[in-house]
Amino acid sequence: MEKFTPTSYTLECVATGREFQDEGWVLEDRACNTPSLVRTHYAKKQIEVKPAEYGLYRFCDWLPVRRMLKGSSAPVTYKSKRLGEYLGLSNLWITFNGYYPAIGATMTTCSFKETEAYSVCARAAKDETRILVVASAGNTARAFAKVCSDNHIRLLLSVPYDNIGALWFEEPLDPCVKLICCEKGGDYFDAIHLSDLALKCPGFYAEGGAKNVARRDGMATTVLSAVTAIGRIPDYYFQAVGSGTGAIAAWEANMRLLDDGRFGTNVMKLMVSQNAPFVPMYDAWRADSRKMLDYEEDKARRDAEIIDAKVLSNRRPPYGITGGLYDALKTTHGEVFAITNAQERKACKLFEEMEGIDIYSAAGVATASLIKAVADGKVEKDACIMLNITGGGEKRLKAGKEMWHLAPSEIFSLTPDRDEVVAKVSALFA
């Protein structure tokens, strides 16, 4: 493997068009002085994909990273045969993020959240002394925990107690990774609130969520995988969304690929989906509203509890922000689908039967939306379609193994006291 050389890039405020240099780990939106995402502009306009041994960093030309971390894997794209034939689609391509060694997919957390974790953590300098704080509904936490444990990066996770079953690993983690939880009955929004209080501790810094360019550009590698495998930009992009960050990343990747000039002039139509009854972005889109509609808190909690795909239960997504999901959907003439648990479960079963591998419920939501789009005549049978399977292979990975689970160091109420959180969290890393 050749020596790694970080790529050159600048940052641009989407709302104002102002460009600035990346001066390290900052909340990039502050540089805009307006609610807006910031976007990366890479000096290298035509991407050169590295050999497979680079893992995720085979796409490093378009990743804002300072180094390569060990243990990464890239998304794998292949042309579907059985599922495509079943749906009557002649050009269906599946981008698989998870564990499926038969096709070369080796993400051992079984989730595409690895793409963002390996990008975000590699953006930080090797001599970073602060403690990274990540809030998650489950899969993101598992991915960041693995990456940070393997590479000795200090990490504080905030996860709802009801979701800690998602924090399984093949072996014990390095003690540099700590977990705090909001008590039973809490959801992802409660975990975010708890992490915000933890960030009051001196020496802690936020991962940044959708506003972190490294997170979005890491997730964009799914599209880079698909386009470089297919040889062209697809006509349609299917994915389930909780925050919408992955779909925003797909849109941004599409724009870079247009500038590359070698993969056609398509603007992929974003076909995103939510798990009913938790469908705040679906409701806002149906109302043609940039602003999220009112969602009573208790109802939001109940709806989040009902859905199978808990990772899709974000109550404060980057939907209306400049450069966010609303703009992405408008620009690409996209659509939003609402998928029930029953539809999702049927799709998961069908995918496993057709493609030979188990998938997560969120990926089942995306697959169900594709099935619905075909049934409703919303995609042409000969169209080039990318189905982003954001997680799968857990049954395959766990077969015959005893897994290790990360236990919380502290559990806080749903109305935590700031001083108590600061005192207890600070003590974890003393």
- Least confident residue range of 43-47, 182-186, 327-331: 182-186
Residues 354 and 271 in one domain: yes
- Least confident residue range of 27-36, 121-130, 333-342: 27-36
The edge-to-edge listing of strands for the beta sheet with 335-339 is 76-79, 92-96, 385-389, 236-240, 269-275, 335-339
Render pLDDT for 338-363 as a digit per residue (tens, 0 to 9): 999 999 999 999 999 999 999 999 99
Residues 302 and 393 in one domain: yes
Q: Which two tokens stand for residue 384?
A: 């080039």
pLDDT at 1 over 70: no
Residues 227 and 368 in one domain: yes
pLDDT at 28 over 70: no
Residue 172 lies in a domain: yes
Which pLDDT value is given to residue 23?
A: 72
Residues 159 and 308 in one domain: no
Residues 242 and 98 in one domain: yes
Q: What is the mean pLDDT of residues 199-215?
A: 93
Residue 122 lies in a domain: no
Which pLDDT value is given to residue 25?
A: 55
Residue 44 lies in a domain: no
Render pLDDT for 54-101 as a digit per residue (tens, 0 to 9): 999 999 999 999 999 999 999 999 999 999 999 999 999 999 999 999
Residues 406 and 390 in one domain: no
Residues 252 and 136 in one domain: no
Q: What is the pTM of this model?
A: 0.96
Q: Which domain holds residue 183?
A: 131-202+402-430
Which pLDDT value is given to residue 125?
A: 87
Residue 119 lies in a domain: no
Residues 263 and 340 in one domain: yes
Residues 274 and 374 in one domain: yes
Residues 235 and 294 in one domain: yes
Distance CA 234, CA 243 (A): 23
pLDDT at 307 over 80: yes
Q: Average pLDDT of the chain?
A: 95
Render pLDDT for 392-412 as a digit per residue (tens, 0 to 9): 999 999 999 999 999 999 999
Render pLDDT for 124-178 as a digit per residue (tens, 0 to 9): 988 999 999 999 988 999 999 999 999 999 999 999 999 999 999 999 999 999 9
Which pLDDT value is given to residue 24?
A: 65
Residues 195 and 326 in one domain: no
| Structure-model confidence comparison of residues 52 and 32, the more confident one | 52
Residues 255 and 146 in one domain: no
pLDDT at 179 over 60: yes
For residue 414, give Cα distances in angstroms to 103, 276, 291: 43, 25, 26
Query: Which candidate, 77, 183, 250, 251, places its Cα nearest to that of 413?
Result: 183
| Structure-model confidence comparison of residues 229 and 7, the more confident one | 229
Render pLDDT for 232-278 as a digit per residue (tens, 0 to 9): 999 999 999 999 999 999 999 999 999 999 999 999 999 999 999 99
Residue 175 lies in a domain: yes
The CATH number linked to 197 is 3.40.50.1100
Instruction: Work out the percent of the chain whose per-residue pLDDT is above 90.
Output: 89
Residue 36 lies in a domain: no
**Number of structural domains in the chain:** 2
Distance CA 291, CA 280 (A): 10
- Token pair 């001066």 is at which residue? 23
Residue 304 lies in a domain: yes
- Token pair 């909690």 is at which residue? 301
